Structure 1
Amino acid sequence: MMPATSTNPPFRSPAWPPGLPATLHTPRTSLYYNVEAAARRYPDKAAIQYFGTAISYAQLQDEIERMAGYLQQGCGIQPGDRVLLFSQNCPQFIIAYYAILRAEGVVVPANPMWLEAELAHVVADSGAVAAFAGSELYQCLSPLHGPALRHVIVHDYAGMLRDDGGLPVPAWLREPAPALQAAPSGALPVAWESASAAGHRPLPHQAGFDTLCMLAYTSGTTGNPKGCMHTHGSMMTAAVGSQIWRSSTPESVVLAVAPMFHLLGMQNCMNSPIYLGATVVLMPRWDRALAADLIERYRVSVWGAPPAMMVDFFSQPGIAQRDLSSLAFLGGGGAAMPDAVANMLQERFGLPYVEAYGMTETASFLLSNPRNKPKRECLGIATFGVDARVIDPQTLAELPQGQTGEIVAHGGQVMQGYWRNPEANEASFVELDGKRFLRTGDLGFMDEEGYFFMRDRLKRMINASGFKVWPAEVENLLYGHPAIHEACVIAARDERRGETVKAVIALRPEARGTAEADPERIMAWCRERLAAYKVPRIVEFVEALPKSGTGKIQWRALQEREMQEREMQAEAPRP
């Protein structure tokens, strides 16, 4: 691919938050050093609140040191060895993550929803030699224990729960852990408690800013998932920058419900709070009633979550009567917050939702709305040291303000590249003005103030009779309909138009069976607010929309199902 050219210097938004510098001096240390610093500064302060069990920073560091020592002396982990982390949110996830880093290893986070084939690909591709696994997940991992993974350490989610604090601990979390059984190869897993009690201590920590620390696998939208190579430096750049941008402090209390295997949860619910010395309130799985209990009990001040989770939380019965006064910051990304929901949060609770934008490839934090001047349904402006632009996806020429193209970005949080995948690297980076820019695959435009707005994924656009329809635009409108709880817009086959717009809708419980929930009335409502070619021609009602482990609506699953149905109809014999 030939380098593209640009004559434009990086654009500095006039909406830049007052008092913040254009660039930051990111600490030139490892992520583990943040634990050590917090333990020295705040040894008795709660690093983690797990229901009624508080784990201090001094305890956290001690647990990490013990497990890092076991990795080095009990498992033979050498600098650069990859270690899989296969677990839901719990104290052991945090301890294992930092223990891998303390042992000079490379974390390979795994989605707890993955099955054996997905795990096998990631283990083989990364070359992982050991793993941490939740007790209920070991069965899925056990076929790989022995042939690929030399060592597996298994933990129980209730293993570090000393007190429930009077909170409703989920029944599944209290269920006895399955008895440890040998893998098909005959290899035996090691219980977390045994590894910790071995009393090993690690060698002096040597990893630094430029050391590889993580292979984070993408969702695999085309082919198998690819491993994004992040150093301590790229992770630190995003973690530190996000907290200074949001004015968080060591006294912040963070609700950690976004899954930590994903960069949104990993950075905002673990790495960033630990850098600050703040307190993390852990939730293993999403439960809107429990979330309200935890916010009240621990006076949670910061909560980052995708819009779908926010919609679910603030629509629960009795929420207006809960004490949410401690909440000072609501933010997130992954999808645009519907304007109707943002209005509700502002009017009923006085809470603006600050949208931001990042990717696995950018360690989460890249663009963000300023807290003092957010715009609705907006990705935000380029943050500290980030050069973000819009280019023509075909010619790679930079486009002027207001024109839609592919968003590209250069910054310290951008990954080094994809693990052992030169073809993907060639396709994913472009050179502008001598700098290496990541091609995000997201379509959007930049306005005159430097705010970026998403149109859609590069491959998600609907082509209806030559007219381009961006599903996100139609979805945002649908959220304003009084009968609609959630909506996803996909392409459907149309003999005349080629493709047409289909809306898959989950209704509000109170709207089911009412006149407002009629497909024709919903389409008529859209016609009053959208250009004719954007109006859904098909409306399908479902009980609930499919979601990923991070709470994002899985539009691709719905689109693939629609394509399969098209193929079946095409193959069916005609009468």
Structure 2
Amino acid sequence: MNLSSRLEETSKIHNTKPAYYFMGESSTYGELNGAVNKFASGLQDMGIQKGDHIALVLGNSPHFIIALYGAMRLGATIIPVNPIYTPDEIGYIVRNGDVKAIITLDILVPLMEKMHTALPEVEHYIICETGDERVKGVNPRTLSIYSKLKSFTQLVANGDVLFNGPELEEDDIAVILYTSGTTGKPKGAMLTHKNLYSNARDVGDYLKMNEEDRVVTTLPMFHVFCLTVVLNAPLISGATLLIVPKFSPKEIFDLANKYQPTVFAGVPTMYNFLYQFPDGNPNDLASLRLCISGGASLPVALLKNFEKKFNVIVSEGYGLSEASPVTCFNPLDRPRKPGSIGTNIMNVKNKIVDELGEEVPIGGVGELVVRGPNVMKGYYKMPEDSKASLKDGWLYTGDLARKDEDGYFYIVDRKKDMILVGGYNVYPREVEEVLYNHPSVIEVAVIGVPDPELGEVVKCFVVSNEKNLTEEGLMNYCKERLAKYKWPKVIEFLEELPKNTTGKILRRALKDQVLQS
């Protein structure tokens, strides 16, 4: 079984039931499955074959779902990409991922036009029409990529609704998720059909998702948290997705009044915004049976305040891209422990080990390792990194954790020096590499500092040889080269950076300095 075949089965059982609502429009499961077949057929007619790689540079929309499941039905491999990434960031993923076709929005066509000379392997740009006013003045015939442009709408319209794709093996790569690496270059976690289906199935079972559920889908679909927990798991359970293009507290409360959702999933920042929203009436969320939090640790005070105000359970969990992603959730059938990431989900085992790989005693701190059908095949074209992360059937997460006597896990410290900005992972080296390219920067160190809204933000310490270099100038330099959530919030100039005896810059000393100030 895989996600594509399961959707086909679900469409037969719930043929006329709404699969999703989006901006006032809806689609039944029968209509969705038909669109998936037609899109897969259109891809095949273009020359896309089983095993080819396709990038999705899209936000939350039916386009994403149809493209994802259509590509999987054909046996192609999907690479989701954040649409707010800069050309450099998108370009690296497309080149490293050997992408043959890009599916993107019409408003991003000018960006693709600028990038395409550096992406000679991309044969097709499939454009999703949004009706945005900003594209009305663009004449596609004047673009140098005109011959490579294809219409998403026309592909679906002209496709074969009875398309029968190739046989899919459970070990075939379905999705490659690029996650920032400690070297500053993103790594592509290869997730198989078995990985994705098993995790969606087990998460759905664990959270008791069913055809009566209406799930708010406001987390970004290109992110693995959304992909599994509030897209794939609901769809294979026969639930209805309530697709929100972009999170806003007002939008969520308006949606709740109209559709009475039963499940909401978000990162801690979203819960804080909903809790603080002045027009948020507790009765507006009365239909919710469950809220899910992930992406970062949810402050216990916020968790308790939110539950008290809205009279709903918030279940925290844990996951990472390399595990498709979920490994733990706070259980629904026994006491939940605030501050904990919960217990093992079905078919997945977590344990805490020391530096020798031996399990530590209850309460001891060590590295969290994971085993199960959800664990990735490896990193794309990175055998050494794969070998370092996958040992004897266990995925080494790099996160320090502990387990209590009841089997509940707790994250003790973050993965190395990773910064979590509103639930998004930012690695210091990635920002440092950009700043080191500035001609006036001699040395730089990047850390995360606490922020009341986003959890953490990026702070940079810079040593420069140019007295006239300003914080604003460096900020603008970063904004041209990094996605918005990676932008530094503060840049501080120093005469020198703290180092150890070997000359290594000591980020920990800078963090301690910030905490003491």
Q: TM-score, normalised by structure 1?
A: 0.72
Determine if contact 1:228/1:416 at 8 Å carries over to the other structure. yes
The answer to whether residue 231 in structure 2 is matched with residue 260 in structure 1 is no
SS at match of 1:77: coil
Q: What is the distance in 1 between the residues matched to 2:410 and 2:494?
A: 32
Shift of 1:553: 11
Give the alignment partner of residue 151 of structure 1, picking from 124, 135, 140.
124
Any stretches of 5+ residues in structure 2 without a counterpart?
429-444, 455-482, 499-517
Map 1:198-277 → 2, pairs under 5 A: 198-200=158-160, 202-277=163-238
Q: Could you say which residue in structure 1 is the equivalent of 2:493? A: 565
1:138 maps onto 2:146 in alignment: no
Residue 248 of structure 1: SS of its match in structure 2? coil
AA matched with 1:426: K
Q: Describe the shift of the 1:507–1:290 C-alpha distance in structure 2 as closer, same or farther (beyond 3 A).
A: closer
The answer to whether the 8 A contact 1:136-1:177 is kept is no
Matched residue, 2:249: 288
Structure 1 distance, partners of 2:495, 2:411, is 31
2:189, 2:376 within 8 Å by CA — same for their partners in 1?
A: yes
CA drift of 1:398 comes to: 2.6
In 2, Cα distance between equivalents of 1:236 and 1:249 = 16
Counterpart CA distance in 2 for 1:264 and 1:504 is 23
Distance (whole Å) between structure 1 residues aligned to residue 133 and residue 283 of structure 2: 27
For 1:271-314, what per-residue CA distance to the aligned partner results, in whole angstroms no more than 9, with x for missing partners? 11110111000011111101111111111000111111111112
Deviation, 1:409, is: 0.7
1:267 positional shift: 1.1
CA contact (8 A) 1:90 1:157 kept: no
Cα deviation 1:533-562 (Å, max 9, x = unaligned): xxxxxxxxxxxxxxxxxxx996x8659x66
- Computing the radius of gyration over CA atoms, which structure comes out larger, 1 or 2? 1
1:452 to 409, 434, 438: 409
Task: Tell me the residue number matched to 1:483.
Answer: none
| Preserved contact between residue 37 and residue 159 of structure 2 (Cα < 8 Å) | no
The structure 1 residue matched to 2:400, chosen from 426, 443, 446, is 443
Whether the 8 Å contact between 2:294 and 2:316 is mirrored in structure 1 is yes
SS at match of 2:284: coil
Report Cα offsets for 1:251-274 as digits up to 9, x if no partner. 100000000001111112211111
SS, match of residue 65 in structure 1: helix
Structure 2 CA distance, aligned partners of 1:326 and 1:408?
A: 37
- 342-351 vs 90-99, greater mean Cα deviation: 342-351
Q: Per-residue CA shift, 1:310-360, capped at 9, x if unaligned? A: 111121012135521111100121111111111112222221210000111
Q: CA deviation at 1:395?
A: 3.5
Q: Which amino acid aligns with 1:55?
A: S
CA–CA separation in structure 1 for the residues paired with 2:233 and 2:153: 27
Distance 2:364 2:196 in 1: 31
Aligned-pair distance for 1:175? 5.8
> Secondary structure of the residue that 1:48 maps to in structure 2?
strand
Contact 1:101–1:107 (Cα < 8 Å) also in 2 = yes
Structure 1 contact 136–178 (Cα < 8 Å) conserved: no
Partner of 2:18: 46
Name the aligned partner's letter for residue 218 of structure 1.
Answer: T
1:195 corresponds to 2:155: yes
How far apart, in 2, do the equivalents of 1:178 and 1:251 lie?
Answer: 44
- In structure 2, relative to structure 1, the CA distance for the partners of 1:130 and 1:263 (3 Å cut) is same
**Could you report, residue by residue, the CA deviation over 1:345-379 in whole angstroms, capped at 9, with x for unpaired residues?**
22222212100001110112111110132111111
Q: Percent identity?
A: 27
- In the alignment, is the contact (CA less than 8 A) between 2:123 and 2:148 conserved in 1? no
Are residues 39 and 178 of structure 1, via their aligned partners in 2, closer, same or farther at CA, if it must alter by over 3 Å? farther
The letter for the 2-side match of 1:343 is K
User: Deviation of residue 144 (structure 1)?
Assistant: 2.7
SS at match of 1:129: strand
Contact 1:292-1:322 within 8 A present in 2 as well: no
Q: Secondary structure at the match of 1:227?
A: strand
Query: Secondary structure, in 3 states, of the residue corresponding to 1:323?
Result: helix
Which runs of structure 2 are paired with 1:399-478 in the superposition (5 Å)? 399-431=360-392, 436-460=393-417
SS of corresponding position for 2:257: helix
Whether the 8 Å contact between 1:135 and 1:178 is mirrored in structure 2 is no
Match of 2:503 in 1: none
Matching residue of 1:81:
52
Paired residues for 1:321-340 under 5 Å: 322-340=283-301
1:373 aligns with 335
C-alpha displacement of 1:77:
0.9
Question: SS at the partner of 1:331?
Answer: strand
Equivalences for 1:50-199 in 2 at 5 Å? 50-73=22-45, 75-142=46-113, 143-144=115-116, 147-158=120-131, 179=138, 181=140, 183-184=143-144, 187-199=147-159
- The alignment status of 1:353 with 2:324, answered yes or no, reads no
Are 1:84 and 1:123, in contact at CA under 8 Å, matched by a contact in 2?
Answer: yes
Aligned residue identity for 1:147: P
Partner of 1:384: 346
- Counterpart-to-counterpart distance in 2, 1:140 and 1:327: 40
CA RMSD after TM alignment: 2.9
Q: 1:399 and 1:422 mapped to 2: Cα distance? A: 29
Listed as ranges, the matches of 1:11-30 within 5 Å are 29-30=1-2
Partners of 1:397 and 1:41 in 2: how far apart? 47
CA contact (8 A) 1:135 1:177 kept: no
- Letter in structure 1 aligned against 2:130: Y
Q: Aligned partners of 2:189 and 2:224: how far apart in 1?
A: 11
Q: Report which structure shows greater RCO (CA 8 Å, sep ≥6).
A: 1
Would the alpha carbon gap of residues 569 and 360 (structure 1) be closer, same or farther in structure 2, given more than 3 Å must change? closer
1:220-265 CA-to-partner distances (Å, cap 9, x unmatched) read 3432111111111110111010111111111100000000001111
Taking the aligned partners of 2:488 and 2:6, their CA distance within structure 1 comes to 42
Residue aligning to 2:7:
35
Question: Cα gap change, 1:375/1:298 in structure 2, threshold over 3 Å: closer, same or farther?
Answer: same
**C-alpha contact (below 8 Å) 1:147/1:185 kept by paired residues:** no
What are the superposed Cα offsets for residues 106-139 of structure 1, whole Å, 9 maximum, x if unpaired? 1111111211111221111111101110122232
3-state SS of 2:181 partner: coil
SS state at 1:79 partner: coil
